[in-house]
Amino acid sequence: MQGGWWVDGENKSGYSLAADLEGIATDPLPTLWRPLPDDCEPAYWRVSRAIKDTGLAIVERPLPPWRQGTATVDTIVVSTTIPDSRNRLATLLHEYAHVLAHFGPVAREKVERQCELEAESDCYVALQHLGIDYPFSRDYLLHFRVTPDLLYQSLGAVQGIVRRMMRAVEAVKEDRAQAV
Ligand SMILES: [Zn+2]
């Protein structure tokens, strides 16, 4: 955040686990994320298009296995190593939340784990709204040692981000309703 750059899934506490792991790319350690049903391809592309229509860029390229995505103020990167569209959609929504809320002056007051709490909560709420189960948000927040106090502090921000995120998500809800 301070440097204007999010690299999700990386240990940012000083010691660089990622740097130590560069040499084992052929035999990576397990990550938080497991493959999920590959059932969100149309939703992923629908949301991608809606986000691009707001002027942001989305780049799909390989990232190391311990990273799902990154975000700058105007570009979202989603890793092509993610094996399924449901995890890919979740990554897109998580990074979109960072772009919407974590690069302005207000965000400078927030610590990293508060931003992660907000991004993952927004992603979770948006997916729930679409009826898509996403099982990794809890462990992701535990990884950042999120507390109930932090959650209360962020409720207003989460609501505000979700409201903006819904503009990119509503069309998917209509698609899915028609498909049933
Ligand atoms: Zn994040």
- 6 pLDDT band, cuts 50/70/90, is low
- Angle of CA points 30, 97, 169, to nearest 5°: 100
> Residue 175 falls within a domain, yes or no?
yes
* The pLDDT value given to residue 18: 53
Q: Which residues surround ligand 1, an ion (CB under 5 A)?
A: 8, 116, 119
% of the chain at pLDDT higher than 90:
66
Sign of the C-alpha dihedral, residues 70, 103, 86, 146?
positive
59 belongs to a structural domain? yes
User: Which residue did the predictor score with more confidence, 1 or 161?
Assistant: 161
Higher pLDDT, 46 or 176: 46
Instruction: Give me the pLDDT at residue 69, please.
Output: 96
DSSP states of 14-79? SS-HHHHHGGGTTSPPP-S-----S--HHHHHHHHHHHHHTT-EEEEE---TT--EEE-SSEEEEE
Q: What is the mean pLDDT of residues 44-58?
A: 96
How remote is the CA of residue 138 from the centroid of ligand 1, in Å?
14
117 C-alpha vs ligand 1 centroid, how far in Å?
Answer: 8
pLDDT of residue 175: 83
pLDDT higher than 80, residue 30: no
How many angstroms is it from 69 CA to the middle of ligand 1? 8
- Is residue 11 domain-resident? no
Identity (one letter) of the amino acid at 134?
Answer: Y
178 Cα to the center of ligand 1, angstroms: 32
Beta-ladder partners of 79:
61
More confident call, 12 vs 113: 113
Q: How far is the CA of 53 from the centre of ligand 1 (A)?
A: 22
Predicted pLDDT at 122: 97
Q: How far, in Å, from the CA of 112 to the mean position of ligand 1? A: 9
Name the residue range of residue 48's domain: 38-179
Answer yes or no: is 3 within a domain. Answer: no
Cα 180 to ligand 1 centroid, rounded to whole Å: 32
- Per the rule left: phi > 0, alpha: psi between -120 and 50, beta: everything else, 144 is alpha
In a domain, 82, yes or no: yes
pLDDT at residue 100 in the model: 95
Angle, helix 85-101 to helix 112-129, in steps of 10 degrees:
130
pLDDT digits (tens, 9 = 90+) for 105-151: 878 888 899 999 999 999 999 999 999 999 999 999 998 999 999 99
Q: What is the pTM of this model?
A: 0.84
State yes or no: pLDDT of 86 exceeds 90. yes
User: Do 120 and 94 meet the contact criterion of CB atoms below 8 Å apart?
Assistant: yes
In a domain, 84, yes or no: yes
Distance 22 CA to ligand 1 centre (A): 21
**What spacing in Å lies between the alpha carbon of 96 and ligand 1's midpoint?**
9
In a domain, 63, yes or no: yes
Q: What is the predicted pLDDT for the residue at 108?
A: 82
Question: What's residue 15's pLDDT?
Answer: 46
| AA letter at 154 | S
Distance 131 CA to ligand 1 centre (A): 22
Res 13 pLDDT > 90: no
**What is the whole-number distance in angstroms between the Cα of residue 179 and the centre of ligand 1?**
31
3-state SS class at 140: helix
Domain count, the chain: 1
Q: Any idea what DSSP says for residue 6? A: E
Q: Specify if 79 maps to a domain.
A: yes
